[in-house]
Structure 1
Amino acid sequence: MRRKLAAGNWKMNGTPEMLAELSTLTGGEDGPQILICPPAPLLTRAADVTLGSKVEIGGQDCHANTSGAHTGDIAASMLKDAGATAVIVGHSERRADHAETDAHVRAKAEAAYAAGLTAIICIGESEEERLGPDCLDIIAAQLDGSTPDTATADNTVIAYEPIWAIGTGRVPTMAQIVETHDMIRANLTARFGDAGAHMRVLYGGSVKPTNAAEIFQAENVDGALVGGASLKASDFQPIIDALAAS
């Protein structure tokens, strides 16, 4: 049984005043795990606000090294010290804006493991790749290259985010979501055995209250990585509720 996960990625958004809403989020007694990933300057405050609540806090990125001359970067251990339980690695915006390769992402995931954090490893295709004949092979190669050999169901979550759907309001068809998530599950199980069968796989890309319930019907969708709709409790709570009901 894989516990559902509703993860919110605030990206470069958020103010201290917005943190007050976090402790109002709830998934019920046995409901989904709830994770919010605010910008780094808000991590400690967010952890304080959510202390004792159902909400956990995560980072949006980490460096592969534990320390050193890396101006502007954050070590995974620093995120842990700030109160984080998880960190996103390999988001398409990091891959595009900072030229991160699968090898970079894998090294960051390994750093997260070493710090005691869960790594949320992001993979996904461009629109051109989606329209081409090799789309699933491209996603599978990303999955293989970005996921360390030491990945387990406890330290790893996979987030499938089609790049062309992020923040655009466009969403793949249910057939495409099902096909892609089934492929990811099959690859994880083939590589990691029982651990791969129990790794959670999230969908991300314009998830909102109006489409969440349908997306969560897919057998191998274990939750969502949500962007803009996670900034307000009034938008994110219905997504959590839809996940709890799935």
Structure 2
Amino acid sequence: MRRKIIAGNWKMNKTPKEAAEFCKMMKDKVSSTQVDVVFCVPFVDLFPVLEQLKGTDIGVGAENMHFEDSGAYTGEISPLMLKEMGVTYVVLGHSERRQYFNETDEMVNKKVKKALDVGITPIMCCGETLEQREAGITIEWIRIQIKCGLLGLTGDEVEKVVIAYEPIWAIGTGRTATSEQAQEVCRAIRQVVGQVYGDAVAEKVRIQYGGSVSGKNAAELFAMEDIDGGLVGGASLKEEFQQIVHYQK
């Protein structure tokens, strides 16, 4: 039985002071023995968030990282820096990184490999645009992203990767894929992992849905067979996040 994982992706929101105050208020409210809970926060918020969540079961993740340990990469953050701080997760290949910062499948693949090398769990994102969905190529597009993102990994490594399916047309728009649409793509992701790495590996991989997840739709989405939690954007910045974490109540 795959354990659900619900991760908040704060994006470029909350100053360090705001982050500390929010986590102080929320840590007891989102503590859970039923699911894994993670806050993925801006780099400058990592230290105060780690301090506030010390001693809890809530994981802390970064929203990106470089694929080199060190070097002349002005403005970048290395995986070793994150590891030493105590960061345990990192979001990689988010559609906003791909769209605004020209990240490619090859770059995402390098980052996934590096995260695993240093012992940080990668949350690898994939998703299609509205135009791609309307053209009927959603599944083909997602299959390519998954194959490229996991290229060169062993089955044991793939089992440690969290895959987040986020239809780009549903991110921050208030539009949400129906539970059936989300399940269809998450099932296709599990199938392509199975084709490459075997069914045993595919059954262990956790696949999240992201895209306007809310307290109102979380239970229906997470009830789907191949949806193992959510990568939550805007709602993770508010008290509503506790409703998503405790969706079973």
- TM (norm. structure 2) is 0.93
What is the DSSP-based 3-state SS (H/G/I as helix, E as strand, rest coil) of the residue aligned with 1:137? helix
Residues in 2 aligned to 1:196 and 1:53: alpha-carbon distance in whole angstroms: 30
Residues in 1 aligned to 2:71 and 2:26: alpha-carbon distance in whole angstroms: 33
Moved more, 169-178 or 99-108: 169-178
**Contact persistence 1:188–1:197 (CA under 8 A):** no
Aligned position for 2:116:
113
Gaps of 5+ in 2: none
**1:21 maps to 2:21:** no
Aligned position for 2:173:
168
Aligned position for 2:65:
62
Aligned position for 1:5:
5
Correspondence 1:74-93 to 2 at 5 A? 74-93=77-96
1:175 CA drift (Å): 2.2
Letter in structure 1 aligned against 2:130? E
What is the DSSP-based 3-state SS (H/G/I as helix, E as strand, rest coil) of the residue aligned with 1:224? strand
Aligned position for 2:128:
125
Letter in structure 1 aligned against 2:38? L
Query: Cα 1:107–1:71, aligned 2, differ >3 Å: closer, same or farther?
Result: same
1:19-51 CA-partner distances (Å, limit 9, x unpaired): 32242243433x100000111011121111111
Aligned position for 2:196:
191
Query: Cα 1:195–1:27, aligned 2, differ >3 Å: closer, same or farther?
Result: farther
Residues in 1 aligned to 2:244 and 2:68: alpha-carbon distance in whole angstroms: 35
- TM (norm. structure 1) is 0.94
Letter in structure 1 aligned against 2:41? P
Gaps of 5+ in 1: none
30, 34, 39: which one aligns with 1:36: 39
Letter in structure 2 aligned against 1:224? G
1:204-229 CA-partner distances (Å, limit 9, x unpaired): 00000011111111100000000110
Residues in 2 aligned to 1:153 and 1:55: alpha-carbon distance in whole angstroms: 23
**Contact persistence 1:23–1:54 (CA under 8 A):** no
**Contact persistence 1:200–1:222 (CA under 8 A):** yes
Aligned position for 1:241:
246
Letter in structure 1 aligned against 2:212? S
What is the DSSP-based 3-state SS (H/G/I as helix, E as strand, rest coil) of the residue aligned with 1:202? strand
Aligned position for 2:206:
200
Letter in structure 2 aligned against 1:69? A
1:196 CA drift (Å): 2.1
What is the DSSP-based 3-state SS (H/G/I as helix, E as strand, rest coil) of the residue aligned with 1:24? coil
Query: Percent identity, aligned pairs only?
Result: 40
Residues in 1 aligned to 2:26 and 2:62: alpha-carbon distance in whole angstroms: 15
What is the DSSP-based 3-state SS (H/G/I as helix, E as strand, rest coil) of the residue aligned with 1:8? strand
**Contact persistence 2:4–2:35 (CA under 8 A):** yes
Moved more, 223-232 or 74-83: 74-83
**Contact persistence 1:60–1:89 (CA under 8 A):** yes
Residues in 1 aligned to 2:29 and 2:35: alpha-carbon distance in whole angstroms: 11
Residues in 2 aligned to 1:226 and 1:148: alpha-carbon distance in whole angstroms: 26
1:6 CA drift (Å): 0.5
Residues in 2 aligned to 1:25 and 1:101: alpha-carbon distance in whole angstroms: 37
1:149 CA drift (Å): 3.0
1:174 CA drift (Å): 2.3
Aligned position for 1:96:
99
Residues in 2 aligned to 1:28 and 1:90: alpha-carbon distance in whole angstroms: 27
Letter in structure 1 aligned against 2:98? R
Aligned residues: 242
What is the DSSP-based 3-state SS (H/G/I as helix, E as strand, rest coil) of the residue aligned with 2:214? coil
1:132 CA drift (Å): 0.9
Aligned position for 2:219:
213
Aligned position for 1:139:
142
